[in-house]
Amino acid sequence: MLAGELAIAAISALLACGQTVAQEATRPAFEPYVAEVATETLNVRSGPSTNYYVVIRLKAGATVRVVGAESGWLAVEPPDGCFSLIAGEYVDRSGSAQGVVKGDNVRVRAGSELSSHNYAVQAKLSRGTLLTVLGEAEGGWLKIAPPHGAKLWVSGDYVQRVPEERLQQEPPPAAAVDFPTGLDSPPGFDSPSTVLSEAADSKGPATGLARSSPSDGVPDVESTDVDEIPGEEYRRRLTSLDAELTEQLAKPLLRRDFAALLTGYGELAEQEADEYTRAYSRVRIQQIESAGALIDGLRRVEQARDEIREVRKDALTERSNLRPLPILVDGGFDAEGELRTSALYDSPAGPRRYRLVDPRTSPARTLGYVEIPLDSGIDPESFLGRRVGVRAKERVLQTGDVNPIAIYVAAELKVLDRFVEDAPDALTVEEDTRTASPTP
């Protein structure tokens, strides 16, 4: 009898497992989309909860690409400015900006300039994977560009999906178009060895140049007698100009200025004493002009975005001024919803504000914020998680680069049993008579 029961239990477990696998196989794949930050400052974390450390903070209006969701948290591709960490002992480096993984299942972790933690694993890389090395960190770690598949997390309550029609009308943010620092890394900039190789193909006066090029971009010489090399002074100027170019590429994209470099390389491109230097300089000029054209275009895009943002801000403010005070509940309440804590106003030094949400939507939509004055005599803790009606003595409209949202300075809170429907004859049934109002 016992053996029969065990057999039936085993068969049931196998059937349940098969059903789960089938459900997973038929579940539609997540469709990535672009979302916009809808709060003044948004924490981007290394995992899907507030227990994970903050990696970077985004301002209102910044956009992220959402690639997954989990329990109210959204997985996003790492925004510009993010980096990952990998143990330096598992990387073979070739030059300052490249590396190759020399181990199997090597963990890559989420890096942060805001936290000393680095426990969140983003990916496991196999031997031979190419890396872009951004720099070194304490403890033998290397900062690298986030590998393919790496993701970070934001709360779904504080971002809004950007409509497809708006994405087609508005240009992408300038911050999303950048190239890494380093002389041999930016698009359109060949490595110094490539430039020198092209220049060495030019036939000119014998200058004692070797066909190979060292890592610092300065051509080797076969003769130890410097006086025998007519282009030595030009070679030193090339070294200096390349160092200045590296400094410019280390700056933020829109602060890079190539004017002086174009002048310097232009002078070397016109001299007649060293054809090698002349060919090298001409290649650099072409690369810098291409990069400069890109930067000029991005400056115009950023200026247009600023103008659009200001126009939108003014329009939203004007529209909000046309809205009457909402009276959603019979009995003269100014607002009604479920009271929850607010991650935006959890500092003990600031005003005591709580989220008022409509839990019937998913995720819960924020209807406004309820501010509890210190002298009000209201104990908000007894109302958390309950549907309440709010009588406000003041209504403040918070505006910025996001849709305006109301802040109700509470004069009284009252627990309600349910939400009022849209029907005009619907009434609110009160759960009890508990209220909180100012102390006489």
Is residue 141 within 8 Å of residue 166, measured between CB atoms?
no
- Lowest mean pLDDT across 13-17, 279-283, 375-379: 13-17
Q: Give the model confidence (pLDDT) of 242-279 as tens digits.
A: 889 888 888 888 888 888 999 999 998 888 888 878 88
Q: What is the mean pLDDT of residues 193-207?
A: 41
Whether residue 201 has pLDDT greater than 50: no
Give the pLDDT confidence score for residue 371 in this predicted structure. 93
Q: Give the model confidence (pLDDT) of 369-417 as tens digits.
A: 999 998 888 999 999 999 999 999 888 887 655 567 889 999 999 998 7
Give the pLDDT confidence score for residue 310 in this predicted structure. 84
Whether residue 38 has pLDDT greater than 80: yes
- Lowest mean pLDDT across 22-31, 82-91, 249-258, 349-358: 22-31
What is the rounded distance in angstroms from the CA atom of residue 153 to the CA atom of residue 85?
Answer: 17
Q: By C-alpha distance, which of 426, 403, 404, 406 is closest to 416?
A: 426
Question: 15 falls in which pLDDT band (50, 70, 90)?
Answer: low
Whether residue 428 has pLDDT greater than 80: no
Whether residue 51 has pLDDT greater than 50: yes
Q: What is the mean pLDDT of residues 347-356?
A: 83
What is the rounded distance in angstroms from the CA atom of residue 21 to the CA atom of residue 126?
Answer: 28
Percentage of the chain lying above the pLDDT 90 cut: 29
Q: What is the mean pLDDT of residues 333-340?
A: 92
Q: What is the mean pLDDT of residues 144-164?
A: 92
Question: 143 falls in which pLDDT band (50, 70, 90)?
Answer: very high
pTM (2 d.p.):
0.37
Is residue 370 within 8 Å of residue 408, measured between CB atoms?
yes
Q: How many CB atoms lie within 10 A of CB 368?
A: 24
Q: What is the mean pLDDT of residues 206-233?
A: 39
Give the pLDDT confidence score for residue 81 in this predicted structure. 87
Q: Give me the domains of the chain, ranges plus CATH numbers.
A: 22-77+151-170 (2.30.30.40), 83-148 (no CATH), 192-295 (no CATH), 335-436 (no CATH)
What is the rounded distance in angstroms from the CA atom of residue 415 to the CA atom of residue 436?
Answer: 9
Question: 19 falls in which pLDDT band (50, 70, 90)?
Answer: low
Percentage of the chain lying above the pLDDT 70 cut: 70
